[in-house]
Amino acid sequence: MTEHCTTSGKRIRTYGRKHVAVSITQYPRNGRTCLRLIEVENGEETGVCTACTVNLPRISLAEDEVAIQTWSKSVGILEWLIDQEIVSKPLHYADFGGTFIPICNLLVSDDRVQ
C-alpha cells in the first residue's frame, strides 16, 4: 500500500531525508504548469520544500512541457523527478541569459493515490 497525505490524498515520496508530496498547479500569469515539493509531516502537508519548475513566459513551450529549475535549493531535482517518473529526460534546453534550463515532458497530471 502506498503512503499518502490524509488531507489531500497525494502520495508521499522521499526527497533526501524529507517526506514530500508533489504539488501540480499553474502559474497565475500564464497558466503554465508549476511543480513544487511540499513537505509532509504526520500525513499532512506543512509547507513548500522546494520549487521544481521555473516560469519562462518568453520561451515557447508545448502544453505538456515544463522548465525544470536546477540551481539553488533545486540542485538534483531533475534527476529525482526523472527517477520518480514525474517528468521525462530533457527534450531540449532553453537558453535563459546564459543559463541552460532543461525542458521536459510532464508525465503526470495528478499525484494522488488511486
**What global pTM score does this model have?**
0.90
pLDDT digits (tens, 9 = 90+) for 39-66: 999 888 998 999 999 999 999 999 999 9
Collect contacts of 73-78 with beta carbons under 8 A, ≥24 apart: 74/50, 77/37, 77/50, 77/52, 78/102, 78/104
pLDDT digits (tens, 9 = 90+) for 12-22: 999 999 999 99
- Of 47, 109, 37, the C-alpha closest to 68 is 37
pLDDT at 36 over 90: yes
Domain ranges in the chain are 13-105
Neighbours of 97 (CB within 10 A): 5
